[in-house]
Structure 1
Amino acid sequence: MKKEKITKPFTLVAAIYTLYFILRVMDLFILRTDQTWVGEAIIHKLLGIVIMSIIACRLGFKPEEIGFSKGKNILKVFNGLAFGLSVYGIAYAAEIIMAKAAGSFDSLRFYVSAYAIDKNSGNRTGFLFFILCIIGNVINVLMEEGNFRGLFPRILGEKYAFAKATVITSALFGFWHIVLPVRNYVDREQSFSGMIVQCVLLLVISAVIGLKFTILTKMSGSIYMSMGDHFFNNTIVNLLHVVTNTGADEMMTVRIFIAQSLSFVLVLIYYCKWRKTNAFNTEREAGFRAS
């Protein structure tokens, strides 16, 4: 298909994002599938995958142009999963050490829960719930990585440099996550001040995580490694729980902060080295051509 000329990439991304955001609000406030046996708000994400595919096709983008490259994709997903496992292994160990120091650690338990911002809720051990958890998180990463690290950067790349496009998509990804604390406030499960604090924290943390995923996509040449890391990040907190004498996952925010801070620093360090190596190789190739 012939590519459509994109004259106003930011306006186009803003329009698509607004549509997604409206669908997200409707899903979380009206349908509330995440509060049912499904345990995940997947309707707007399924629609997001469909809309992303239609828009990419309409603009003439091939799958590899929005991150779905051909090649060793299983290996890239595995690398993302392994990276997530390594940083969360450290984060869980730190949480357990802190709980033992406080004399409150009970055990690690494996069951399905629903994410609830400050702590997980539910305790489901049926096989069906594990399958639903996996499927829900696969749908989630396909929609979010496909759009925020695939389609949006590709559209913005028509006019903006990588750094600027990354800032825009990371900010949008951060804002994407404020809906849940707003719903908690509307449902009177959270105070207004608590909602503001949660919104600010989620916006900043999610934007930083989005930046990390974008850098992973840039270095790996596709969205598959970021998908693997994203999937592990979301799934592990729903399956593996630190139980203390007074409850479960009481320090989940600390655990997530440790894992994400560590992973961001590691990715940033590697990215700086990767850029220097690429710049050196480019200069060397230019020298060879000149000679």
Structure 2
Amino acid sequence: MKKSYKNTVRNSLILFAVCLMVHTIEVMFIRTDETVFAECFINKVFGITALFWVLSRLKMNWRDIGFKKEAFLSSTAKGIGICAGSYLAAFAAEFIILAAQGRPAHLEFFVTGFSLTGSTVKLTGAGFVLMCIFFNIINVWMEEGVFRGFFIKYISCGHDRKKALYISSLLFGLWHLVTPVRSLLDGDMSSTEFAVMSVGYVVLSMLMGIKWGLLYQMSGNIWIGMADHFFNNCVVTNLLHVVTADGVDEMQIIRVITGELISFIAVAAYSRIKVRKEVYA
């Protein structure tokens, strides 16, 4: 039976604002991603802790927001498959473009962070790889748990599923605005570049949020979207890199946009087909 809660949107916005404040402080001032950790993880640990507290206050548990252990293996495999298939096409397109430009490329495996400005810090060694994997698990646990698992589930208790999906995705897009703001304030971007990058980054993050939200709503568990999210961040962005004689990951943003658009279209199309089948069944 669907539980009833009051002021679900307002309460979700309060949780978002508190988490965003911690996220902003870390990105702007603490700058954990510029340390040996190469990742802003403090806000993610805070978000997970806050979610534990909120769930207990609402008398909900992790299973209620999609963390169902019996669906873990099969759903994780599906999520990895979605991401791997989409980015196989994106990597192939990138290699073809570079070859056509007379710039042959190859793949290298090392740790680095995602950058909107193209700067790359190369970290090698098993310790950095394990640290990267660990922090990415923390990252997707927080972001999928809060933005998909909790917001969609909780807002759906007072509003329809579509509204819950779109609100959670909008908040997820705004969450990612902090990164381009820092680049602007640091002088790494002009105001024009900031306008283009911030709009593009927020819109792309919203589309990713819709995709993972649809996967959550269709499957009833968090694992498919979480696995896709993890593979995207950890493998495609942080560990696997396209290297040419001129540099590293010069087309990374194009690769990410291509891969995410492919998977978004595929998931959205499948969702529509599934809804139509249920309507006419």
TM-score interval for Structure 1 and Structure 2 normalised by the shorter chain: over 0.9
Contact 1:217–1:223 (CA<8 Å) still a contact in 2?
Answer: yes
Give the match for residue 69 of structure 1: 68
Provide the residue aligned with 1:122 in structure 2: 121
Deviations 1:103-144 (A, max 9, x none): 012321111111112435111111111011101110010000
2:273 equivalent to 1:273: yes
Alignment of 1:243-254 (within 5 A): 243-254=243-254
Q: Which has the higher strand share?
A: 1
Secondary structure of 1:108 counterpart: strand
Q: Please report how far the alpha carbon of residue 238 of structure 1 lies from its aligned counterpart in structure 2 after TM superposition.
A: 1.1
Per-residue CA deviations over 1:217-251 (Å, capped at 9, x if unaligned) read: 11111111000000011112111111122111111
In structure 2, the gaps of 5 or more residues are none
Q: Are 1:227 and 2:226 counterparts?
A: yes
The equivalent of 1:30 in structure 2 is: 29
Decide which moves more: 201-210 or 272-281.
272-281
Q: Which amino acid aligns with 2:263?
A: S
SS in 2 for 1:72: helix
Q: Given the alignment of the two structures, is residue 149 of structure 1 paired with residue 148 of structure 2, yes or no?
A: yes
Alignment root-mean-square deviation, CA? 1.5
Find out whether 1:89 has 2:57 as its counterpart: no
- Match of residue 168 from structure 2: 169
Contact preservation (8 Å) 2:107, 2:240: yes
Q: Secondary structure at the match of 2:60?
A: coil
- Tell me the secondary structure at the aligned position of residue 188 of structure 2: coil
Amino acid corresponding to residue 181 of structure 2 in structure 1: V
Q: In the TM superposition, what is the alpha-carbon distance from 1:160 to its structure 2 partner?
A: 0.9
How far apart are 1:159 and its partner, in Å?
Answer: 1.4
For the residue of structure 2 that corresponds to 1:113, the secondary structure is coil
Report the CA distance between 1:72 and its aligned residue. Answer: 2.4
Aligned ranges for residues 253-272 of structure 1 at < 5 Å? Answer: 253-272=253-272
Is the Cα contact below 8 Å between 1:120 and 1:238 reproduced in 2? no
**Residues 245-266 of structure 1, C-alpha deviation per residue, up to 9 Å, x if partnerless?**
2111111111111101110111
Q: Deviations over 1:148-206 (max 9, x none)?
A: 10111122112110111111111100011010111111111111221121110111110
Say if 2:10 is the partner of 1:15. no
1:273 is displaced (CA, Å) by 1.6
Amino acid at match of 2:193: G
Q: Is the 8 A contact 2:173 2:209 kept in 1?
A: yes
Q: Which has the larger radius of gyration?
A: 1
Pair 1:193 & 2:188 matched: no
Tell whether the 8 Å contact from 1:4 to 1:59 is kept in structure 2 after alignment.
no
**8 Å contact 1:113–1:120 — kept in the other structure?**
no
